Chain A
Amino acid sequence: MKVTFPHMGNQYVGTKVLLEELGVDIIIPPKCSKDTLNTGVKYSPESICLPLKVNIGNYIESINMGADTIAITGSCGPCRFGYYSVLQKELLKEAGYDIDVILLDPPQGDYKLFFERIFKLTGTKNPYRIIKALKKAYNVLKAVDDLEDMTYYKRPREKVKGSVDKYYDTFHKDVRMVYGYKAVSKLIQETKERILSVEEDPNRDVIKIGIVGEIYTIIEPFVSLDIEKKLGNLGVEIDKSLKVSRWLNEHLFMHPLGLSTEKETWESAEPYLKTMVGGHARETIGYAVRFAKSNFDGIIQVYPLGCMPEIVAQSILPTVEKDYNIPYLCLIVDEMTGEAGYMTRLEAFVDLLRRRKETFKGEKLLSGY
């Protein structure tokens, strides 16, 4: 059994550690590229959202490398991600790929089936082993996400442009070559030290932008056209509303215990959106408010064309923009998105934020602060 799975930002590092620690053979799909997307678009329904198209591309590229089993997670609505698994199975069958699919949906009462599937995927019935591997995978994910956070801070401040990316890109290439928890952790630690040692320019005027939106789009750099790198190079420090490790912690460890780390976010969103509406619309709004409160200079929302929950959030965000007096930009991506137009909008937005900051600085001086 050679298992593969779809990409989503740093998630592959965690999944790799999890399955390798359990001794499962895995095939990591190649980094998402234009080819991946083209393959996906070819086999997917026209009006489905972008993540599914990229996923299908991932699977087919992995199958061509020898994968014979796919592990897919799911949800139970109301966002259409919940029905991805069924549709993807159908699409792959139609495309002529005879492949085993292991669905890891939330159990919804049927625990027997859920555990059977986990045992099938992991090849062991020892829950202790599985939990140990999960813990390790979570630690690694957390470490990679911290590493990424560090690049958000360093990129706009680096003295020589591109130094951070040199180390960070090398990490993503090298991590595919090493095996198991120890080796991956070591690599993360080394990269961390390298990035930390990148020289900073103390005179940079760095502005801060909060990125909110649909989880897949903001986490997978290919789909958001490397928004973190683009903004970093424009001298912008960013923070994101959602991270893989945070999501895993929330859904795997907190939820079953009836807890949540997002209470503060939900409370921030409450005046605008009372309940969840599926996907991460509530988090989008909650984090927009939280970013505004912690003095970010602007907010960018990114989502794939047609994403239902984010459309609801998009209707509400202009009110947040007004209430907190914080500029807001909405970027929608699909397979037709062109890089040049995207870049222009980012540049214009960053220019606007800088001008705004300068004006406010002037005001402060005049009023005697």
Chain B
Amino acid sequence: MAIKVGIPRGLWFYDYYPLWKTFYEYLGAEVVLSRPTNKQILDMGVKNTVDEACLPVKVFHGHVIDLKDKVDYIFVPKIMSVYEKEYICPKFCGLPEMVFHSIKDLPQLIDVEINFNKSRKNLEETIYKFGYYITRDKEKIKKAYEKALENYSNYKMKLRNGYLPIDGKFVDFNNKLDKNIRSRIAIVGHTYNMYDSYTSMNLFNKLKKDKVDITVPEMIDFEIINKYANELEKKMFWSFGRKLLGSSMYFAQVQNVDGIIYISSFGCGIDSIIQDLFERNARKQGKIPFLLLTIDEHSGEAGINTRIEAFLDMIEWRKRNEGNLSAHG
């Protein structure tokens, strides 16, 4: 029987899962995904995490619990850094430990450290370590990684073309040619907040139904983002923050959107800085309307709906120049 590897549907899932799924499947393992986030998963996560942790970390714990009796290994890598001189959030760095000490009776965790902060030289070694859980065959692991990389770049290409992985399934948001479009809105935030339709309260589909064209940072060319991010006074050391700040500067300069919605989870340390700088860029320099939606396990959908509706109305009035409404939402 094939070895079962469980991949939790949380945190880095929306950024990297095609890579790891292909990788382990090529090596002959069976990859099991946890179910899309639902109330039960969230509740389990909340129960088994310290109060102070942010919503996505709680949700992630829920997904691990959802998987723990179904698989032989759970994939919880220790992602420290994916680019040189950059980091991921501290909670990502300590994620395997958090999971290990919070949840009882776990199967073995695949908790290999990914750290390219100093250089990428250890890439090969890291890949082997991931593969050793399934096979000792280095050649095969290498091939699996190549295959995975290929699949991963296809995935990113699809994102760029407007297919977004809502709960891990592609939904087409590429409706630029639709004549009935009311407005064009950028949705920004951490991928795990945006694409998890349970925690984002189905924001994407709501906007689509309202005939809004959606842009996300994943659709912008990475080189353009890098170009803008390089103008920052001090190097942004969070890879995710760098992407967001770069795109905020892009939006402010190019002004190709009517408004920006930022989804942030309560208590997110990265957002407390990025969101603030992002907002300053968008509002002051770009004069683009900005809406911040802060979510946590107590968020009510009705309140969020009201805020989105009001925001869309405001944009429409603003477009018709009714009273020249301020950009301060």
Residues of A participating in the B interface, judged by any CB pair closer than 8 Å:
45, 47-49, 74, 76-80, 82-83, 85-87, 90, 103, 105, 108, 272-279, 281, 305-309, 311-316, 318-319, 332
Contacts and interface: CB of A to CB of B under 8 A. Distances in A.
A182 B266 CA distance: 49
Contact of A278 (B53, B87, B294): B87
Contact of A332 (B52, B115, B275): B52
Given A105-B234, A308-B269, 14 more contacts: A74-B234, A77-B86, A77-B87, A108-B235, A276-B93, A278-B87, A305-B267, A307-B269, A311-B52, A312-B90, A314-B52, A315-B49, A315-B97, A318-B101
Contact of B90 (A49, A86, A87, A278): A278
7 contacts: A49-B272, A83-B273, A86-B232, A275-B78, A306-B52, A308-B91, A309-B90
A274 B270 contact: no
Given A49-B269, A306-B52, A306-B272, A78 B97 contact: no
B233 interface: yes
Nearest to A82: B237
Nearest to A87: B273
A45 B276 contact: yes
Contacts of A308: 89-91, 269
Contacts of B97: 272-274, 312, 315-316
Interface of B: prevailing SS? mixed
Interface of B: 49-50, 52-53, 78, 80, 85-91, 93-94, 97-98, 101-102, 113, 115, 232-238, 264, 266-273, 275-277, 280, 294
Given A86-B234, A277-B90, A315-B98, A80 B49 contact: no
Given A90-B277, A315-B97, A281 B266 contact: no
A275 B90 contact: no
Closest 10 CB pairs of A and B: A312-B94, A77-B237, A78-B87, A277-B93, A278-B90, A308-B90, A47-B272, A277-B94, A45-B276, A308-B269
A279 B94 contact: no
Contacts of A82: 237
A87 B275 CA distance: 11
Nearest to A311: B52
B298 to A, nearest CB: 16
Contacts of A278: 87, 90, 93
A366 B264 CA distance: 58
